[in-house]
Structure 1
Amino acid sequence: MRTLSGHLDAVDVRGCAVGLLGEPGVGKSALQAEVVGHARTRGFTVLAARGSQSETHLPFASLHQVLRPLLPRAERLPAMQRDALLACFAMGDSAEVNPFFAFLAVLELLVDLARRTPVLVCLDDLHWMDRPSIDALAFVARRIDSERVVVLCTSRTGPLPFADPGTVEWMELGGIDEAAAAALLEARAPRLAPAVRDRVLRQAGGNPLALIEFATTLESGEHAWTELDDDLPMTTRLERAFAARAEHLGPAVRAVLTVAAVDDGDDVNDVLAAARILHGAPVDRVAAQPAFEHGLLTVAGDRYRITHPLVGSALRQAMPPATRQQAHEALARVLAAQPDRAVWHRAAAVSGRDERIAAELEQAAGNAQRRGAIASAAAWLERAAALSPDPQAQAARLLSAAELGYQLGRFDQVEQIKAQVAGVTLRPRDRSRLIWLEGVFHDGSTGEPAEVRHLVDEARHATAGGDVELAMQLLVGAARRVWWRDPGERLRHAIVEAAREADVLAGDPRLLAIHALSESHEQGPAVIEQLARWPADAGGRPDLAGLLGIAAFCTGDFPRAVTFLSTPVHELRAQGRMSLLAEALAIRAWAEIYLGTFDAASSADEAMRLADETGQSLWAATARIAVALIDGVGRGWDTHHVLLAEAEHTALRTPNAASSLLAGVQLARGIAELGANRPEPAYRELLRVFEPADQAFQRVQQVWTLGYLADAAVHTGRHAEARSALAAMERIAGSSPATGSTIALEYARAVLADHGSAETLFQLAVDGASRRLPWHRARAELAYGSWLRRRRRVVESREPLRAARAAFEAVGARAWAQRADQELRATGERGWQPTPHPRDRLSPQETQIAELAAQGLSNREIGQRLFLSHRTVSSHLYRIFPKLGVGSRGQLAAALSHQVQSSDASRD
């Protein structure tokens, strides 16, 4: 209570989300109720919801409980958010819902309420809440740091309901101590015999609910000694104690309890009406009163609840299957005006397969999907499949559920369903859907050569059957796997040949992506030639722009990659499609890095946060490496950067992704070591990317890493080894005109050249592909100036060294600016002092908000764009202004404008 009260006391400073974990009966709900009392005395508005096992299938049921008092205020929300939220509760006309706009609406309602009074959101039995509600509430919990909102959850010990362990600060509750247990037992059951009292204390193990229930039922004579068997789990013993309360009640009351145990709502009138059908005679509140008196149900107005989840599970365990089915059938009749709920109960009322009900469930799943409840829709489809008499119809519904699982990133669910339908003779279209699922799921899927070969064979089969669309989908999936883990030259070429057999246009974005992912160097010149023919926005098609961006990135055409990827980033943000947005941002972040734009606020930081939130471990790791590398260039760090360690852990536990991710990890470490002027460890780190037997070997990324390896080699006397690597990279890159390859090769040739040709090659490195890219030009100038100084051409060396120092400072590369300054000092020049800019004081998210505000966007527009509340945006700006030394939004643009950007296209 001291801890939780402390969170309430600090709500004006920061919001938080905290949770209580523990076994049933340990006191989570009682403690939460105590906190509610304290909160109300301190002026909090309390919003509450309680999960129920019988409601887990009902989309947004728990969220509706929380928001019921606030729904009249929904009309004040921006139209897109309002419509999305109301459609979640089937209260609007929207044909389809984007769940993230609905989640943002929830956040805005809570934040607006918190302007008047602090808010406590109580989520009891979170583990029984429906998945869409959990997702919405997790979205809110991650965004209340600067709001006057406290979220307090309770959940049973076990797998955490929120996928991200950082969403909630969890505290585990144990039982009360022996003295407190004895005092409680004495207060509640003073007449127990000493032997019985000792056994209850021993069996309850400090669990308060067990102490009360065991004592009460033993004292009343309704509980047998065998119910306290040591071998029985605590939950079973408690369920039997609760079941004993109901055994002696009359038929009408038991009918009420039976219906309540399987009901997925909270309207007492629905329960009484269904109980009347089940009982065969009128049942009113008076008849049901014993259920309330015995502490099995509680009621407030027309709303009722089962007093404890174990009461519901005890009642369900005790009822015969036929009785349970009759209760569901009665509820289905009562809920005829709510067809989705009614069909779920009709499905629970049948004992065999039933196509009519399966079809109704499939329709209800469609309704749930349109409301943005993808997880619920998938569950409904799986239930529909279980009721399908026809094996082919069953497989079709399972595949629909698997497709929704793919949207949610649930690889395990997809694999499980694929195994279920593997032995079924599928309809032609469903066979195509299964093959597509095998090819499309690249995050977490196997990269084994045999699996890639299978996809290629299936693609050729689809082409032979005239299904070119399916063939290209499969080949894109196969090619994506090549990027994460190279299956070998023959298989890479087989993918390219299969794509050619599909006979699509040479400029088809799918074909370009397949070629670039599979044979980046071999197909690079042809791909780049085709990319040049596409407009920057891909003709208004963000899906095609995304494929073109991938093709440009993989061939090293980084300026076009940034341009093409900015189109889908803009569209996906506007559509609230956070999962795909995270992927697009992560790829764009690396294109920016390879161009020398080290700005985490542009893409990398947001990609990391969104990938974490949407559960995409590989893209989260990709973004983490980018953020760590940007930190290494800007601030410098040792090789133990926490984000880098997390990304490496992801790579090592996901073998199919190891080469690509680990190559990025090694590049980040190598650049950090070079910035700190530690060339020996830098060389060791970077060399791993070039050694085929190493897990970090990546045939494409090694070319882009070459310049940094050459830099380290020159300072450690390894010219011969580096020249050998240069020759190998020249053979691999061939005649590629790609920016990435050209920059790396021009730089490496210059720093590794002999005395006679070095100066000409340095001039080419400075004025060639790097000419308009400050970071790369500065590195070439630093290397050239250092070379001149070592040749005792001291006066000539100062100009390129000064230019390098100024450029490094402008792009925020402090360690590298200091390296250039050390070279200048060696020429006898003194007096330079770094000039830190106020912008450096901003976090990446603060920088992003400041830039959007400088563009003239309102707080609400910024919030919707970044999936934050407008109040959070306002709070950030309140802190940003003094950091930048400005007093108004109109001054932001000038304050932010000093930093040199390598590409105008690096903003979406």
Structure 2
Amino acid sequence: MLNDLLVRHNRRSGCHRETREGGMGVAGADPLVGLPFLDRVGHRPDPQRRALDVAFGAAEGEPPDLFLIGLATLGVITERRAQTPLLLLVDDAHWLDRSSAEVLAFVARRLEMEPVILLFAVRDGVPSVFDETGLPDLTLTRLDDDASRSLIGAHAAGLPEDLKARILAEAAGNPLALIELPAAAGNLEVTRSWEPLPLTIRLETAFATRLVALDADARALVLLAALGDGTLAELSSAAEELLGLRFDPGQWSAAASAGLGTLDDDRFRFRHPLVRSAVHQAATGEQRRMAHAALARALAGDPDRAVWHRAAATPGPDEEIAAALDALAARAADRGGLDIAFSALERAAGLTTDPSLLALRLARAGNLANQLGRSAEAVRLLRAALRDGRLPANQAAMAAFDLETLTMAWSGASTIRHFARIAEELADRGEGRRALEALAAVSVRAYWDQLDDGTRRHVSAFVARLDVPADDPQRLAALGLIDPIHRGPEVIARVARMSPAGLSDPDESMAAGRAAMAVWADNLALPFLRSAVAGYRSDGRLARLAQALMYAAWTNVNCGAVRHAITNAAEAARLASEARQVRFGRAASLAQAIAVAELGEGETAEELIADAEAALVPLGANPQLSLIAFARGRAALAADLPGEAYHHLVRIYDPADPSHQPYVGGWAFADLVDAAVRGDGDLDLVRALLSDWGKTAAAMGAPHLEVQVAYAAALLAESATAEEQFRAVLTSSAADWPFYSARARLAYGSWLRRHRRGAESRTPLREAARIFDALGQLCFAERARRELRASGERARRRVPEAWTQLSPQELQIAQLAGEGLSNRDIGERLYLSHRTVSTHLHRLFPKLGITSRAQLRDALDPPRGW
């Protein structure tokens, strides 16, 4: 069964954490012997195969990305030779650690068209990762009265009717209670004094009564099983340690006869988790410590498991055990087992006496808790690590930065200056790369925060002096993000001379793309972001892929490429949700909102914006409120509501408004001027802004700013110079920016028509409509056609594009199939099975009015260049 494979994988990799005091460890010497489906592991692409090998402990390597393990698992399941229906059942899934649960949830979300059902059984009222997965629920309700009477009748022969009625009432249709409570009814004296306890506690008490029938040695043996979860041989060895020569193997049969569990596969398996809990609670603290000590001695040859029992048995701090747990944490993290690494470090901290070591272990545990999405635990541990000032300066800075992020606090310039001082100390020791990494950690935050100009100049000057190559992508990203206006010319010049082909790592491509975006050079950013997306896809690094797709989506938005914006943004939002990256996910949703608004889907756009707003406002993500204002402004422009658009967009430029963000103002400037001119905005204000942004664009040479300034100048020009300004836009760099070229043609044609030059207006208006159609800017295209009709040309209303009926994922699949990719290639790229891809294609063909893949390219009529 695959379930056995998954369980053994969890044990081997340290991805599963026991919920009791006992520990998990390595099960068996060879983790891959006798496990099903392993014949398919070797057929997975190299990154996936390596991830499984490392996770299983069959090979050494970098810690595998959880989502890459999930992708590999999905491939193993869906590419198996036998295609008969398959049921995968994970019982008591609420006990799974977060890492294992996320891998399994990743697989479950993608089993759309496979003959496979992945079923998770979770208990009501017990929080679990599966509460957040969005998977469909099948709630098992209580048994009805007839079924309850039938069940108790089969298990309560000879009980008085009044006692049966009492049990029926207390069980409330719970089948486990109806089976177990009758057997314990006599001992519990339920007719006289059954305490009003929760059902689980009553059941636990019922199970505990079965221990009474066992002698002390048998109870000790069952306690070892409850704490150890080992084989019968291991537990028997521990029993000899605990009981000496008195151990009688026949006691296992006595425990089974008492109804506590079953003997099979060389293990004692408790019949229910509540039995294990009952055994645990019935023992004293001293009895549990002695049992743990015996298990530790019995498992001396397996130190990764023994150390948990050594830790549970020790009465106080013990640095030797703490160091062993620390080493275990490092090994677990190397295999991707962040949960067990976190638990080991937290326990190690509890056994540590040295204050400096304690602070380091608390900080590392806090960092792992943060990675695992356990915000409250991360805050608690990081605060404890920082409490006595024992952390080294660079680690203290990172811990403080993470703490600020988690608590939605931000000390702004002081944090940046603190990181700069640490970076300077590292640089003085000749560690320029580490100094750059220290600043890279806060550079994105610096971009969005309202830092003073002096701080930006000081820190960026330090970055410029670091002993790293001048065209290092991470250096350029730090310069662009920390001080975009003053460092923009250097960033633009260096990125313009670079090529994605010259960068071997997707992280480098991402850094180059972010550097260019930060200085309003989206046209330079896009090739690097595409390269980063391709690299992260190949590596299976889904969290980073989500970020790269989000940046690409915003670049598409700024360039007006609607279709690519929709597909990139929708995928980014989906993956960011799985990776628990709330801010990145909502930023992607806002990019998608703009794109769908420009298709004419205003209601969908507002739903996306409202959802993002509801998620971001409680996080205190005030800088991102500028993106909400930007999205609402662009959506209003698409709906031809310029007055409303101006109301939203002008907020970005008001320092007193919560939506103020100076650099987003560089993205939205042309939209603001468009809205002001057509929507009775404050023209004096926008003219002043034009002067400021014009100087910035001229000084920086930022392409996106330059084209917006030229477009805005034409819109604001007096009648005597307007035509000259429009012609200047159309013969300038706007040719490299189709969205602005089309907008300039639309504005110019409209200006000609208003000046009674209808015949002359038709050529730019026709060209504008054509370009808008190619970009997917259907609302703008319809505006151009309305102007054409007003000019006297009998322009037909365009039939709605067939591709607008497709969902974002269907559109993405159709685009890839239109490029000639096979179903298997598309599945690998989008983390879907090839059968799911085939089904999507089968469903989307009728929507496009086609019958074959060969017709896809013409049906989609993809835009060129963008």
CA pair 179-244 structure 1, distance change in 2 beyond 3 A: same
CA distance in 2, matches of 1:56, 1:559: 57
Output aligned runs, 1:275-674, within 5 Å: 275-281=239-245, 286-408=250-372, 410-424=374-388, 426=390, 430-439=392-401, 444=406, 446=408, 448=410, 450-464=411-425, 466=428, 468-489=432-453, 491-493=455-457, 495-496=459-460, 499=463, 507=471, 509-537=473-501, 539-598=503-562, 599-600=564-565, 603-638=568-603, 641-655=606-620, 657-659=621-623, 661-674=624-637
Q: What letter matches 1:438 in structure 2?
A: A
Would you say 1:769 and 2:733 are equivalent positions?
yes
CA distance in 1, matches of 2:234, 2:821: 49
Q: What letter matches 1:454 in structure 2?
A: T
Q: Work out whether residues 762 and 791 of structure 2, in 8 Å CA contact, stay in contact via their aligned partners in 1.
A: yes
Q: Work out whether residues 213 and 258 of structure 2, in 8 Å CA contact, stay in contact via their aligned partners in 1.
A: no
Gaps spanning 5+ residues in structure 2: where? 8-15
Gaps spanning 5+ residues in structure 1: where? 1-43, 904-908
Q: Work out whether residues 401 and 415 of structure 2, in 8 Å CA contact, stay in contact via their aligned partners in 1.
A: no
Match of 1:161 among 104, 128, 153: 128
Match of 1:692 among 639, 655, 659: 655
CA distance in 1, matches of 2:829, 2:249: 50
What are the Cα deviations for residues 4-50 of structure 1, in whole angstroms up to 9, with x where unaligned? xxxxxxxxxxxxxxxxxxxxxxxxxxxxxxxxxxxxxxxx9998989
Match of 1:258 among 210, 223, 233: 223
CA distance in 1, matches of 2:25, 2:123: 21
Q: What letter matches 2:633 in structure 1?
A: G
Q: Work out whether residues 598 and 780 of structure 2, in 8 Å CA contact, stay in contact via their aligned partners in 1.
A: yes
CA distance in 2, matches of 1:100, 1:373: 13
Q: Work out whether residues 378 and 401 of structure 1, in 8 Å CA contact, stay in contact via their aligned partners in 2.
A: yes
CA pair 865-474 structure 1, distance change in 2 beyond 3 A: same
SS in 2 for 1:650: helix
Q: What letter matches 1:796 in structure 2?
A: E
Match of 2:100 among 121, 127, 133: 133
CA pair 317-854 structure 1, distance change in 2 beyond 3 A: same
Q: CA shift at 1:644, angstroms? A: 1.6
CA pair 425-753 structure 1, distance change in 2 beyond 3 A: closer
CA distance in 2, matches of 1:391, 1:356: 15
CA distance in 2, matches of 1:826, 1:856: 42
Q: CA shift at 1:136, angstroms? A: 1.4
CA pair 866-497 structure 1, distance change in 2 beyond 3 A: same
Match of 1:808 among 758, 772, 776: 772
Partner of 1:40: none
Partner of 2:11: none
- Bigger Cα displacement from structure 2, 508-517 vs 303-312: 508-517
Aligned residues, how many? 848
CA pair 441-558 structure 1, distance change in 2 beyond 3 A: farther
Q: CA shift at 1:539, angstroms? A: 4.3
Q: Work out whether residues 345 and 361 of structure 2, in 8 Å CA contact, stay in contact via their aligned partners in 1.
A: yes
Partner of 1:676: 639
TM-score, normalised to structure 2's length?
0.89
CA distance in 1, matches of 2:618, 2:176: 42
Q: CA shift at 1:139, angstroms? A: 0.8
CA distance in 2, matches of 1:447, 1:287: 59
Q: What letter matches 1:648 in structure 2?
A: E
CA pair 834-732 structure 1, distance change in 2 beyond 3 A: same
CA distance in 2, matches of 1:882, 1:484: 45
What are the Cα deviations for residues 512-553 of structure 1, in whole angstroms up to 9, with x where unaligned? 333422332343234323433444456435434333322211
Q: CA shift at 1:456, angstroms? A: 1.1
What are the Cα deviations for residues 122-169 of structure 1, in whole angstroms up to 9, with x where unaligned? 221111123332121111111112222222222233464226734322
CA distance in 2, matches of 1:749, 1:821: 24
CA pair 881-269 structure 1, distance change in 2 beyond 3 A: farther
CA distance in 1, matches of 2:532, 2:22: 35
What are the Cα deviations for residues 187-213 of structure 1, in whole angstroms up to 9, with x where unaligned? 533544566555545544444433443
SS in 1 for 2:88: strand
- Bigger Cα displacement from structure 2, 69-78 vs 640-649: 69-78
CA distance in 2, matches of 1:45, 1:342: 27
CA pair 93-546 structure 1, distance change in 2 beyond 3 A: closer
Q: CA shift at 1:410, angstroms? A: 5.0
CA pair 159-517 structure 1, distance change in 2 beyond 3 A: farther
Q: CA shift at 1:590, angstroms? A: 0.8
CA pair 459-749 structure 1, distance change in 2 beyond 3 A: same
SS in 2 for 1:280: helix
CA pair 505-107 structure 1, distance change in 2 beyond 3 A: closer
Q: CA shift at 1:505, angstroms? A: 6.5
Q: CA shift at 1:584, angstroms? A: 1.8
- Bigger Cα displacement from structure 2, 739-748 vs 662-671: 662-671
- Bigger Cα displacement from structure 2, 304-313 vs 709-718: 709-718
- Bigger Cα displacement from structure 2, 702-711 vs 478-487: 478-487
CA distance in 2, matches of 1:45, 1:390: 45
Partner of 1:213: 180
Output aligned runs, 1:189-204, within 5 Å: 189-193=156-160, 196-197=163-164, 199-204=166-171
Q: Work out whether residues 639 and 669 of structure 1, in 8 Å CA contact, stay in contact via their aligned partners in 2.
A: no
Q: What letter matches 1:668 in structure 2?
A: A
Q: CA shift at 1:566, angstroms? A: 3.0
CA distance in 2, matches of 1:441, 1:554: 26
Partner of 2:710: 746
Match of 1:87 among 34, 54, 57: 54
Q: CA shift at 1:511, angstroms? A: 4.5
CA distance in 2, matches of 1:255, 1:790: 95
CA pair 478-767 structure 1, distance change in 2 beyond 3 A: same
Q: CA shift at 1:760, angstroms? A: 1.1
CA pair 69-272 structure 1, distance change in 2 beyond 3 A: farther
CA pair 501-423 structure 1, distance change in 2 beyond 3 A: farther
CA distance in 2, matches of 1:56, 1:558: 54
CA distance in 1, matches of 2:73, 2:38: 10
Q: Work out whether residues 358 and 387 of structure 1, in 8 Å CA contact, stay in contact via their aligned partners in 2.
A: yes
Q: CA shift at 1:618, angstroms? A: 0.3
Would you say 1:249 and 2:214 are equivalent positions?
yes
CA pair 731-635 structure 1, distance change in 2 beyond 3 A: same
Q: Work out whether residues 242 and 310 of structure 1, in 8 Å CA contact, stay in contact via their aligned partners in 2.
A: yes
Q: What letter matches 2:749 in structure 1?
A: G
Partner of 1:108: 75
Partner of 1:11: none
Match of 2:787 among 823, 829, 832: 823
CA pair 59-550 structure 1, distance change in 2 beyond 3 A: farther
SS in 1 for 2:734: coil
- Bigger Cα displacement from structure 2, 418-427 vs 838-847: 838-847
CA distance in 1, matches of 2:437, 2:47: 32
Q: CA shift at 1:373, angstroms? A: 1.7
CA distance in 1, matches of 2:706, 2:454: 27
Q: What letter matches 1:525 in structure 2?
A: P
The CA RMSD measured in Å over matched residues stands at 3.5
Q: Work out whether residues 524 and 555 of structure 1, in 8 Å CA contact, stay in contact via their aligned partners in 2.
A: yes
CA pair 192-504 structure 1, distance change in 2 beyond 3 A: same
Q: What letter matches 2:574 in structure 1?
A: R
Match of 1:707 among 647, 662, 670: 670
Q: What letter matches 1:228 in structure 2?
A: W
TM-score, normalised to structure 1's length?
0.85
What are the Cα deviations for residues 695-753 of structure 1, in whole angstroms up to 9, with x where unaligned? 22211112321211222222233344543443454456562311221122111111121
Q: CA shift at 1:821, angstroms? A: 0.7
